[in-house]
Amino acid sequence: MYLRRLTTFLFALLFAALCSGANGSKPKLVVGIIIDQFRYDYLTRFRNDYHGGLDQLLTQGADFTNAFYAQVPTVTAVGHSIFLSGAMPSVSGIVGNAWYDREEGNLVTSVCDWNVKTVGGHDAGETTKCTDASPASPKRMLVSTIGDELRNAHEESKVIGISLKARAAVLPSGHRAAGAYWFDDVTGSFVSSTFYMDQLPGWAKSFNERELPAKYVEQKWEGFPNWSFAAPESKAPYSKIPASPWGNELVEQFTEEAVNGERLGQRGATDLLTVSFSSNDYVGHAVGPDAPEVRDMSIRTDQLLGKLFRLLDQKVGLKNVIIVLSADHGVTSTPARDKETKMPGGYVSVDAAKIVNDALTSRFGSADWIVPGVKPVFISIAPRLAMLRPLNTTFIALRRTRYWRINGFTSRASTRESSWRTASPVISSRSL
């Protein structure tokens, strides 16, 4: 309910702006920004350190605080798919960063698409399962975005999505984007896929030819000398760049080139630009929300946003730009930090999938009950076995719940039947 309020607010804001009267007051450019893993309290905890873009938004914009997540799991793909579609996972089909797809009989990611090829970088080739390096498109998203509806109404409008992560570039920009671009840690280039284009535009090629990541791998993070960004023995020499301040710098610089190269907001049509800053998430996962690195990343992001806004003001005029900023998810304290501060918490050092498989084997006999999945986030029972054997899904779920509670790492569980009774009227089979 609460996230629906936020979505309604954002949609009302953008709809009012995009559909304002014929008096020339329509915005020239709408910019949707996500800072990955940016908890709301980062705005208040570090407020005195913000003097750039975040400060502009807080002092000159509207801060909508009555916003909550209404879905599980709160991960990158789901948050980015909701941002400009308003659709919950049960409707959009984006139920996680990755999941076991029963129709394909394999583990898939939210944007993996073997029907397209990577453009402008390393092509990993088709493998037995999708990875973050696989070619990408929005084909798994079952709903439209604001960008899609904008282009349906105005073909001349242009939509561009940019991020380090493929899913963070693809999902907010939607199906009808002129291009979605993400970072290839093998070549150090921003790439796209044949879903959007056969080759990169000239401005993107020129940016990649500058080879900025090669400089960043040797650059030191001031104040944090123990961080290293070189991966000399890796097949992906730039794999450490995302978990560094330089990842966001690359995104901001590439975004500036996109604004100039595509002439966004400068062509007489309303354009949409989506930008997701991913490095906050990579660093946050490495050290937790209470580490000084997170504060430093937040301050740097504020400065980068200020730099981007100055370009937009110069090229388009900020009075002609609508900027919406959000996060895709938050983060909780690390168990180590909880222990240090005498708070309850800890690590679960058990194989949950094995526990479930053993429990089912003890009751129904030996079988490969658990299909490949994103353990322990998703544990799925093989669908054909569930149909062939005399299994009652409620009994399985309840037995699993009892077993997990005995082992002390589950507080609550529900069956598929109870989910049908209490969840949204529209439930995706992917989530079941």
Do 293 and 174 share a structural domain? yes
Does 341 reside within a domain?
Answer: no
**Measuring CA to CA, which residue among 60, 16, 1 is closest to residue 325?**
60
CB 423 within 8 A of CB 90: yes
Does 173 reside within a domain?
Answer: yes
Do 318 and 399 share a structural domain? no
Separation between Cα atoms, residue 189 and residue 187, nearest integer Å? 5
Domain boundary among 291, 306, 336: 336
Q: What global pTM score does this model have?
A: 0.88
Do 373 and 233 share a structural domain? no
Do 138 and 49 share a structural domain? yes
Do 317 and 393 share a structural domain? no
Separation between Cα atoms, residue 171 and residue 95, nearest integer Å? 12
Do 358 and 294 share a structural domain? no
Nearest 5°: the CA angle 270, 303, 312 is 20
Do 185 and 325 share a structural domain? yes
Does 343 reside within a domain?
Answer: no
Separation between Cα atoms, residue 84 and residue 171, nearest integer Å? 9
pLDDT tens for each residue of 292-319: 999 999 999 999 999 999 999 999 999 9
Catalytic residues: 76
Separation between Cα atoms, residue 139 and residue 205, nearest integer Å? 26
Does 347 reside within a domain?
Answer: no
Do 314 and 359 share a structural domain? no
Does 345 reside within a domain?
Answer: no
Separation between Cα atoms, residue 224 and residue 212, nearest integer Å? 21
Q: What is the domain-level CATH number for residue 6? A: 3.40.720.10
**Measuring CA to CA, which residue among 84, 73, 70, 51 is closest to residue 3?**
70
Do 396 and 282 share a structural domain? no
What does the block give as tokens for 183? Answer: 């970072």
Do 120 and 10 share a structural domain? yes
Cβ-based neighbour number of residue 343 at 10 Å: 10
Does 346 reside within a domain?
Answer: no
Domain boundary among 303, 336, 369: 336
Do 366 and 408 share a structural domain? yes
Can you list the residues of the chain whose pLDDT is less than 70? 1-24, 125-128, 372-379, 383-432
Does 342 reside within a domain?
Answer: no
Coil, helix or strand at residue 247: helix
Query: How would you label 150-185 residue by residue, b for 16+ Cβ within 10 Å and e otherwise?
Result: bbeeeeebbbbbbbbbbbbbbbbbbbbbbbbbbbbb
Do 142 and 169 share a structural domain? yes
Does 281 reside within a domain?
Answer: yes
Domain boundary among 336, 361, 391: 336
The residues pairing with 381 across neighbouring beta strands, listed in sequence order, are 370
Q: What is the total count of domains within the chain?
A: 2
Q: Is the bond preceding 73 in cis, omega lying within 30 degrees of 0?
A: yes
Amino acid at the residue 407: N
Separation between Cα atoms, residue 346 and residue 203, nearest integer Å? 48
**Measuring CA to CA, which residue among 344, 328, 334, 343 is closest to residue 411?**
344
Predicted local confidence at residue 272, as pLDDT:
98
Domain range for 412 is 352-431
